[in-house]
Structure 1
Amino acid sequence: MLIYPKIDPIAIHIGPLAVHWYGLTYLAAFGLFYLLAVRRLSHEPFASVQGPGAWTRRDVEDMLFFGIVGVIAGGRLGYCLFYKPGWYLTHPLEIFYLWQGGMSFHGGMLGVIASQWWFARTRAKPFWQVMDFVAPCVPTGLAAGRVGNFINGELWGRFADPSLPWAMVFPQSGSMQPRHPSQVYQFLLEGLLLFVLLWLYARKPRREASVSAVFLFGYGVFRFAAEFFREPDAHLLWLKAQTGLSMGQWLCVPMIVFGIVLYFRAQRRPLPASA
C-alpha cells in the first residue's frame, strides 16, 4: 500500500508571484499540442491541400490561440453548469474566480469545438477537416492535466483492496484507507493510450469526420471506464446513488453515441484524393 507523496502545489516563487504546477501542466499541454500539430502538417490529406486553403504553421498558431480561449472559457463554464449550477447561480461573480479551481473536460471540449468552428469559418476551411486535424493532438494535453491533478492530490479514486500493489492512501481525502489512484488510470487511458491509438489511426488519410468520431468514442469509453474507480464529487453523490452512474459518466454517454453516429455517417463520404 502506497502513501501519497505530499507535493507542494507551488513549483516556484517569483517575488510575490506563485507559479503552480497545475498551471505549468496547462503550458505543457499547449506546447505538446503545438509540436504535434506541426507534425500533422505533413500528414495527409493536409499536406496535399494547395492554394488559399493550404495548411501552414500560421494556422497551427491561430488554432492554438483560439483553442486556449475555448479550453479556459468552456472548461470553467462547463464546471459551473454541470457540477455546481446552484452555487454559481447564487454566486455568479465566482465564475471568474479561476484561482479557486474547478474545470470540466466536457465544458472545455465544447469550448474548443466552438473556437475551432470560428477558426474554420474565418479561414474558409471545412469544419470537420479542422476537427480531424486537431483531434490527435489533444490526448497528450489531457495526460498533462491528469499529472496536475495528481500533484494537487485531487480527484482521488474510490476505496481499493489493500492487497492491490498500487493502492494509495490520500490523506487529503479525510481517510487513511487505500484508494485507486484514478488520476493515473485516466493519465494512462484517456491520455497516453488514446493518443497512441488515435495518432496511428490518423496517420493515413481517412474519410472526413472519421478521426473526430474515433476521438469522441474513444475518450467517452475510456473516461466512462475510469469513472468506476474515481470518487464522485461529494455534492454529486446523490446522482451516483440514484442512477448508478457519476456525472462524468452521464456526460460521456452523448459523446459515445454521437461518436458512433458520426463515424457511420462519415463512411458515406468519399476518401480524400490523397488516399
Structure 2
Amino acid sequence: MIPFMPCLRKYGWCLLTTLLLLTHSCQCKKEHVDPPSPPVLPQDTYLVTSIRLNGIPKDSFVYNNRLQLTQRWDYNPSYRQWQNYIAFDYNADGYVKTARYYNENNNTLKSLSQTDSLAWTSGRLMIYSTRYRNLGEEISGYDTTSLQVNAIRQFTLAGSKDTFIFDNGIFGDMVQFKEYSYQQQDISLFITHNYVNVIGGTLVLEGYQYTMTYNSQINPLHRYLSKNPLLLQAVTADLQNNWKGYPYLASEHYVTSIRYEEVNGASTTLPVTYTPFDTSAYAKEQRIGNNTVISYRYKIIKP
C-alpha cells in the first residue's frame, strides 16, 4: 500500500487545484453579472388645455377620464369668453367617428347647429353632415365631404386639385385645396391653394407652401390631432386667413425651422425657439420668427 501513497498525494493535489480554479472561475463570473435595471418610473401626462396666439385666446380643450379630447372651444372676443364648441366621439381604435357643433346665441342659448358622422374607408374619410336650425330643433339640410388619407390614415388632402367650373363656365372657375406631406409622423410639407375666378369679378389667388424641420421633443398635441382631421383643421387654422395656418402643430415633434413661400414668389425662413417649463421639456411658449408667439397651458396628470 505504501508505494501508492505518492501517486494518491499527487492526484489529490491535482484534484484540489482543479476544484479551486473552478470555484474561482465561478465566483468571477458571478461578480460580473449586471444587476437588473430599475423599473422605468411612469411619467406625468401633460394635456394642453388652451392655446393663445400673440396673447389672444385661440383654442380650449376638454378631456374625459380616458384622456380623450372630447371638446374644442372657440373664443368670442366680443364677450371675452369661450363660447361655441365642437364635441367629439371616437371609435374603438381611437379615431374620430362623430362631431357635434354647438353655438351659443347671445351667450345664453346653446343650440346644435351641425352633426358630422365619419366613415374611414381605404384612402378616404367620408363626412356626412346634418345641419340644423331653430336652436337645433329642425333639420335644414345635408352635405357630404370627402377628405383624402394615406395608407396609414394620415390626413393628406382637403378640397380638390381639379378645376371646378361654376355653372358650365357662366360664372367662372376655381381650385381650392390644402395638402399635407409627411416624414414619418411629422408634416414636412404643407401646400394651400385658393384660386377663384369669377367672370367680371376680381381674381382671387392665394397660395402658400411651408417646408418644415423638427427636433426630437414630443409635441403633446400630436396624439389627438393625428386621429382627428376635423380637430387638426380647427387647431391649425389661422385666425385671420383661412388659407394660411400652423400645420406644424399637428406633427409628432416640435418644429425648429419653417421655410415659408407665397405663390407670388415671396419667401422667408423663420427660426422657431421655445421657452420650456422648469420641470418639463414641454413648451410654455413657442416663438416663430419675430411676430408670432404661441403659448400653452396644461393640465398635468400624475401617474
Q: Which interval holds the TM-score relative to the shorter structure? A: under 0.3
Structure richer in strand, relative to its length: 2
Query: Relative contact order (C-alpha < 8 Å, sep 6+): which is higher?
Result: 1
Question: TM-score, normalising length from structure 2?
Answer: 0.25
Which structure's CA Rg is the greater one?
2
Structure richer in helix, relative to its length: 1
Question: TM-score, normalising length from structure 1?
Answer: 0.27
